[in-house]
Chains A and B, each alone.
Chain A
């Protein structure tokens, strides 16, 4: 069942180079994308930097509005969209407020969406942090006291705080060490089963995609060049660009 469906999505950005430089120039970031996100499945989005992966993620969450095309979501599955759909960004150094203690950062979505009463907060947050593999004394500390991997765990806890059903992971591990990446990938898989989550996993690491995804979409220069079952696409890619990516990954 489709949780989210993108129909004919295009997005252009306009460059204002100044009055004297002539008319506005537009850059097409995405063009005619048709894609659906199935419930309980993980969709991988791959592509080089600048291919439109993050723009796609932002459109899925309506953080930005597409130039043309429609995004449908199933209101039965995502009744409170802003609560039920969350995102985790690449850089946990930028995505956490340095002035908020961990308990505040993780409690904020719970309070906003009325998920927990104020007095339940410390217990709830502690439990969630534990689920994400953080020590119990983390509550009153600040983001700068944690390593990159731990910070990403905090970001995960915060994203899960509103009990979402749909989670977009936008390059969630690429700023981390390979050993830490491997541990976080295990955590993502564990959380997916535990909370019955649907993921969109954005990455340029094909090995990661293979490990986590059911289906995969390959973007290049804003165009969707290939989509299909992850194992099939990675095993026998049809588009020359996908083939090139697979070759680069096999070399490693």
Chain B
């Protein structure tokens, strides 16, 4: 079936935010296919609709957002027609997220270990003791030194890079098929950024998930992606491998992104 060639397929997605002054269109016909176990970078300026596209994949949208038409197929199933219970079954379990600011998504009142364990208990039906063991193993896999100590630390005791690793460990807890990373390195410094990027590449080998990586920085595409999609004003305006896109950008926004990258994105 041509329909199911990708693990996640977005077709002609239109989305708007209704308002008093008329509806504000945010997505205007997004087409995007994420293939099994590939790394795809979705790049564009802020406000181009990248994050909303990402959230649409599990129908996990702000309450006032309205999808007017289009479809999202996850492994042959229409996400937009799923019932609440079905959505709960794929959110975090099949399609997991990593966001920009890990500290904002980690609960400051609980230890890192108990938060990872919670995801394991929920998605893999393990008792607490076993879940904590798995959590420690996960922390080791995201290359956290001294995972035992980190397990009993609170988020504020860890650096931004460490918290991001914790967040990644948590999202891998259920062995998802798709990992959507929304600007996961933007708040990190350059060294932490390259470590996290390398970690993503390694983890893809081990866990065989497909990665949708959202960014405004094309250097990410160069470093991790097999394919790049450029988004502008609610549409995917260009698509191709890094070599194709960087050698001959066709859309003016791609050119803009390339110029910024050439100028201040690399040494």
CB-CB under 8 A for A182 and B259, given A49-B189, A147-B47, A251-B194: yes
Contact stretch, chosen from A22-30, A93-101, A203-211: A203-211
Instruction: Tell me how far the C-beta of B230 lies from the nearest C-beta in chain A, rounded to whole angstroms.
Output: 12
> In the bound complex, do residue A252 and residue B47 qualify as a contact, i.e. CB atoms below 8 Å apart?
no
List of A residues within 8 angstroms of B265 by Cβ: 178, 207, 252
Interface size on A, residues (CB 8 A): 28
List of B residues within 8 angstroms of A179 by Cβ: 45, 216, 256-257, 259-260
> In the bound complex, do residue A182 and residue B264 qualify as a contact, i.e. CB atoms below 8 Å apart?
yes
Q: Is A133's beta carbon under 8 Å from chain B?
A: no
CB-CB under 8 A for A207 and B267, given A48-B192, A49-B189: yes
Considering only residues 151-196 of chain A, those with a C-beta below 8 Å from chain B are: 177-182, 185
Q: Mark B203-216, 1 if CB is under 8 A from A, else 0.
A: 00000000000001
> In the bound complex, do residue B46 and residue A252 qualify as a contact, i.e. CB atoms below 8 Å apart?
no
Task: Using C-beta atoms within 8 Å of the partner chain, give the interface range for chain B.
Answer: 20 to 34
Contact stretch, chosen from B78-86, B217-225, B238-246: B217-225
Q: Is B159's beta carbon under 8 Å from chain A?
A: yes
List of B residues within 8 angstroms of A246 by Cβ: 267
CB-CB under 8 A for A249 and B261, given A177-B45, A207-B267: no
> In the bound complex, do residue B218 and residue A249 qualify as a contact, i.e. CB atoms below 8 Å apart?
no
> In the bound complex, do residue A177 and residue B218 qualify as a contact, i.e. CB atoms below 8 Å apart?
no
Considering only residues 79-122 of chain B, those with a C-beta below 8 Å from chain A are: none
CB-CB under 8 A for A252 and B219, given A148-B46, A206-B267: yes
Cα distance A252–B47 when bound, in Å? 24
> In the bound complex, do residue A178 and residue B260 qualify as a contact, i.e. CB atoms below 8 Å apart?
yes
Query: Among the listed B159, B189, B217, which residue makes an inter-chain contact with A178, where contact means beta carbons less than 8 Å apart?
Result: B217
List of A residues within 8 angstroms of B47 by Cβ: 147
Cα distance A132–B192 when bound, in Å? 33
Q: Is A135's beta carbon under 8 Å from chain B?
A: no
List of A residues within 8 angstroms of B188 by Cβ: 49
List of A residues within 8 angstroms of B257 by Cβ: 178-179
Q: Is B160's beta carbon under 8 Å from chain A?
A: yes
Cα distance A113–B191 when bound, in Å? 42
> In the bound complex, do residue B159 and residue A182 qualify as a contact, i.e. CB atoms below 8 Å apart?
no
List of A residues within 8 angstroms of B218 by Cβ: 178
Q: Is B63's beta carbon under 8 Å from chain A?
A: no
Q: Is A59's beta carbon under 8 Å from chain B?
A: no
CB-CB under 8 A for A252 and B192, given A49-B160, A179-B216: no
> In the bound complex, do residue A207 and residue B260 qualify as a contact, i.e. CB atoms below 8 Å apart?
no
CB-CB under 8 A for A249 and B260, given A177-B216, A179-B45: no
CB-CB under 8 A for A178 and B264, given A48-B189, A148-B46, A252-B219: yes
Instruction: Tell me how far the C-beta of B24 lies from the nearest C-beta in chain A, rounded to whole angstroms.
Output: 15
Q: Is B193's beta carbon under 8 Å from chain A?
A: yes
Cα distance A147–B189 when bound, in Å? 23
> In the bound complex, do residue A211 and residue B46 qualify as a contact, i.e. CB atoms below 8 Å apart?
no
Query: Among the listed B159, B190, B192, B260, which residue makes an inter-chain contact with A181, where contact means beta carbons less than 8 Å apart?
Result: B260
Q: Is A245's beta carbon under 8 Å from chain B?
A: yes
> In the bound complex, do residue A178 and residue B261 qualify as a contact, i.e. CB atoms below 8 Å apart?
yes
> Interface centre among B191, B218, B222, B223, by most A CB within 10 Å?
B191
Cα distance A152–B53 when bound, in Å? 27
List of B residues within 8 angstroms of A250 by Cβ: 266-267
CB-CB under 8 A for A249 and B264, given A49-B160, A179-B257: no
> Interface centre among A49, A180, A244, A252, by most B CB within 10 Å?
A252
CB-CB under 8 A for A204 and B264, given A179-B257, A180-B45, A251-B223: no
List of B residues within 8 angstroms of A49 by Cβ: 159-160, 188-189, 192
List of B residues within 8 angstroms of A185 by Cβ: 263-264
Instruction: Tell me how far the C-beta of A223 lies from the nearest C-beta in chain B, rounded to whole angstroms.
Output: 17
List of A residues within 8 angstroms of B267 by Cβ: 206-207, 210, 234, 246, 249-250, 252
> In the bound complex, do residue A249 and residue B160 qualify as a contact, i.e. CB atoms below 8 Å apart?
no
Given contacts A180-B46, A249-B266, 7 further A-B contacts (CB under 8 A): A180-B45, A181-B264, A182-B259, A206-B190, A207-B264, A244-B191, A249-B267
- B interface, CB within 8 angstroms of A: 45-47, 159-160, 188-194, 216-219, 222-223, 256-257, 259-261, 263-267
A–B Cβ pairs within 8 angstroms, 28 of them? A49-B188, A147-B46, A177-B45, A178-B216, A178-B217, A178-B260, A178-B265, A179-B260, A181-B260, A181-B264, A182-B259, A182-B260, A185-B264, A204-B189, A205-B264, A206-B190, A207-B263, A211-B264, A234-B267, A245-B190, A249-B267, A250-B266, A251-B194, A252-B190, A252-B194, A252-B222, A252-B223, A252-B267
- A interface, CB within 8 angstroms of B: 48-50, 147-148, 177-182, 185, 204-208, 210-211, 234, 244-246, 248-252
